[in-house]
Each structure stands twice: as structure tokens, then as C-alpha cells.
Amino acid sequence: MNNQPQIRRERMNEKTGTEIYEAYLCPIIRAAIKALPIDFKRDLEEIRLRINRPLMVYGGNKDYFLASDGRLLRNSQGAIMVTRKDIDLSIQFISNYSFYSVEEEIKRGYITIAGGHRIGLSGKVLYDGKSIRTMKDFNGLNFRIAREKKGAAKAVMPYLYHKGKFLNTLIVSPPQCGKTTLLRDIILNVSNGNASNGILGLKVGVVDERSELAASCNGIPQLDLGIRTDILDSCPKAEGMMILIRAMSPNVIATDEIGREEDSYAISEALLAGIKLITTVHGTSLEDIYGKKVIGDLVKNKVFERMIILSNKNDIGTIESIIDVNTKVNLIGTPIRNKVVN
């Protein structure tokens, strides 16, 4: 029984995009997703199931209600109403009828499936006073479609090196503005290098605490982070950075969303070892970051040499500015339209 989910997921890896999600949805919702307009499917980012609420989808920086025939609606009238049966049946498909096979993932609040896609869970949390034991009585599912966009970092890469040396880089972005996609492609470029530009590939250690960067499934990265990249999946950032420093001799360490006190200590250890850093934080500007604990101190102390600020002003993934942190100078004259999907 323990091998069934693995076999199922490996077979599902033959499919891509919404086809994978269709296999994990209950029949009525599966039919509606299949009937979506092709153009919208390309931009589809989330499928939201909430018990006794209308089915919703998110894509192209907008959310819509969804009718059973695949029509996108601006109001809930005529939309599919999600029932407990719909959610329970989808959970059975996701777990391949073996809830215990995914119990460890459920503790984290999400399940990663083949292709790097993630299914977020909401419901009753069972807490023993020290840690989350499990979840039950699920009332919501969030199917998040992961899309690998190679080339997303092309516009920023020339700004992240000085005399051939990679610079400590911080990506600042509000939610759903493409920071994870941009970070993923920067990692890929740093790892592979660029022989035509004389840029050598570097050993990159990735601490993928929430399985978003490599989207590992059964230990196998589903998304390409480069040929010189080592990945610690589902590992807390501070602990993971220390493991990489001690064991994997990286030139660069990459993580997503730092901000805890223990993260600061691990970053200090990495800097002492001569390791470069690239990470992200939620925010909108340099001034906004200064007001945050931990990351604000790191920026004020000029740990980071480059800061990339994203928005969805012109499109998802608009590069508002690339700042030289030492001089506070914006290195680009106007925002760069750089459509990516987070």
C-alpha cells in the first residue's frame, strides 16, 4: 500500500499543467476545468474549493467564479457550489485512497504532486501543544499550478554580477507578483553559468522549506534548478543553511522568504564562510524593508548588494527597480515588463 501513491505520482508526471489537476478533482469540477477556455488555462494559477461556497479560479491577475460548462463568471450566480462530498472525494484522489500515505505532508498544510504543483489544505487542525499532529474535517482546497518559466531572469542577470562575481541578492515582492518564479530562474542561471558571457557556473545549495522552488515529489525535483544545484526539501531554512555550509560546500545559498532570528545567525555563518546569498521577502520598497525585523537589519548592514523590487503594475512580474544597496541607486531607468507566474 505504501508504494501506491509513489507509483501514481510518477505516472502523473507524464502529464502537464491542468491535466494533472484534473486527475485529482471530483468529477463535476474536473469537467468544468476541462471546459475552460484554452487561453485562460495557460494563465491559470489557482483552483479554489471552499465548502458551501462557489468554485473559484484565479489567473491573469484576476479571480472568477466558474460554471459547470467552463464559463468564467464575474459574480457567483450560476457558479458551481462546492460541497463537502466534492472536497472529500478530491482528498481521496489526492491521497490515492490512502490518507496515511500523505499524513506527514498534511501536517505542513499542503501536498505536492508530480509536476511540482501544490494542493493547500484548510480544515480542523489537531495540535498537541507542541506541534501540529494532523488535519481533518477539510473545508477548503487550493490547487496551485506551478509553471516553470525559463528566461524569467534574463533581464536581471547582468545586474547581479560584478567583475564576474555573483552579488548577494534580495528579491522584494508583494504576494503573487512572480518572486518565486524569478528566484527559481536566477538559481538556474547561476548554477549553469553562461559560457558565452564568461560567467562560470556555481555550486548552489537550495533550502526549499515549502517545496516551492524545486517542487520535489518523492525526493525528485520536478522543476529545473540547474546542474550544480543541491536541494534540501522540506527543511527549515536556518537548519538547512547550516547543513549546506557544513556538508555541501556551496558557492551560493538560495532560500525563499527569510525573516526569523535563527535565519540571521545562519546567514552570518554563510557570510563568514565566503558563501553568497540569494533570497526573498514580502514587501514593496526599500523603505518598507527597513522597517522589518531581521531582514531590515541585514539590509541596513549592507549584507545584500542588489535588491530587485517586483510588482504587478504592468503585468505579473514587473521589475520595478534593481537597486545597488550601497548607493541606493536604481540601476534601471524604467520598470521592465517581465510576465512570470508565481
pLDDT, tens only, 81-113: 999 999 999 999 888 877 777 888 888 888 887
For residues 52-79, one letter each, b for 16 or more C-beta atoms within 10 angstroms of the residue's C-beta and e for the rest, the string is: eebbbbbbbeeebbbbeebebbeeeeeb
* Whether residue 338 has pLDDT greater than 70: no
pLDDT at 1: 36
- What is the average pLDDT score of the chain? 86
Grid cell in block for residue 260: 526569523
C-alpha neighbours within 13 Å on the C-beta side of residue 203: 10
pLDDT at 170: 95
* Whether residue 2 has pLDDT greater than 50: no
Confidence of residue 193 (pLDDT cuts 50, 70, 90): very high
What are the boundaries of each domain within the chain?
4-144, 157-330
Alpha-carbon Rg for the chain in angstroms: 21
* Whether residue 258 has pLDDT greater than 80: yes
Q: Which of 311, 279, 274, 275 is nearest to 294 (CA)?
A: 279
Confidence of residue 133 (pLDDT cuts 50, 70, 90): confident
Confidence of residue 3 (pLDDT cuts 50, 70, 90): very low
The CATH architecture that domain 157-330 belongs to is 3-Layer(aba) Sandwich (3.40)
- CA of 91: how far to CAs of 136, 141, 332, in Å? 11, 9, 47
pLDDT at 151: 87
Grid cell in block for residue 264: 540571521
- For residue 132, which phi and psi values (nearest 5 degrees)? -80, 125
* Whether residue 300 has pLDDT greater than 80: yes
- For residues 207 and 38, the model is more confident at 207
The average pLDDT across 190-219 equals 89
